[in-house]
Amino acid sequence: MSDVIEFLKTRRSVKPRDMNGSAPSAAELETILTIGARVPDHGKIAPWRFIVFEGDARQRAGDIIADVFACKTPDASDQDIAKARDSLTEAPLVIAVVSSPKSHPKVPPWEQQLSAGASALNIVTAATALGYGANWLTGWFAYDRDVMDRLGLQPHEQFVGFIHIGKSDRPKDERPRPTLAEIVTRF
C-alpha cells in the first residue's frame, strides 16, 4: 500500500515533446482504457468516451486542427499553421477524453462532467503506472466547436482533454505545489 501512496505523491506530467516513439502496446492500451472507465459514475451511465489517436490518425487530426485554425485566423503565419498541425504528433499516442452527458433524472450534467474528468486522470495515472510519460492537455482546439464536430463529437459533447502518452528518458521536473495551509480550511 505504501508503494501506491508514494507513487501518487510523486506522479509528474511529462511534456509531449520529451516523449520518444515508444507507445503502449495494444494490451497496455486496453489496460489504460479499462482503468479510464473505472471511475465514479453515479447512475452507471458512462457519461464519457474515448477517441484514440495513434499512427497516422494523429496527423489526420492535426490536419483538421490546422485547417480550422487557418480558416479562423486568415493572417496566421505558415509557422503557426504548422504548429497547429503538429498539436497531436509529439507523443506517439493521444487519447481524447470526451464528456458525453446523458439525460438522467438524478445525475446532473455537472456530476457527469466530473466523472469524465476523473476518467482523464485515471488514464494519466494508469499510463504513468505502466512506465510511460503522460500529460493531460487541452489548447484552443479542445474548445472549438468546428474542431469538435470534425473530430466526430456530437453537439452535446465536449473534450475534457487530450492525454499524450509515450516513453521519456528525461527526468521529470518538479513544479511548485500549494501547501496544504493555503488550500485547506476546516468547518
pLDDT tens for each residue of the chain, 187 residues long:
689 999 998 889 999 999 987 899 999 999 999 999 999 999 999 999 999 999 999 999 999 999 999 999 999 999 999 999 999 999 999 999 999 999 999 999 999 999 999 999 999 999 999 999 999 999 999 999 999 999 999 999 999 999 999 999 877 778 888 999 999 999 9
- Phi (first) and psi of residue 166, to 5 degrees: 180, 165
d(CA 163, CA 135) in angstroms, rounded, equals 5
Helix H or strand E segment including 113 = helix 109-129
Residue 45 burial class via C-beta count within 10 angstroms: exposed 0-12, middle 13-18, buried 19 and up: middle
Name the grid cell of 22. Answer: 515508444
Q: How many residues does the chain have?
A: 187
Residue 120 three-state SS:
helix
> Does the predicted TM-score (pTM) go above 0.85?
yes
d(CA 8, CA 12) in angstroms, rounded, equals 9
Options 2.30.30.90, 1.10.150.20, 3.40.1190.10, 3.40.109.10; CATH of 14-167: 3.40.109.10
Q: What residues are paired with 158 via a beta bridge? A: 99
Name the grid cell of 170. Answer: 528525461
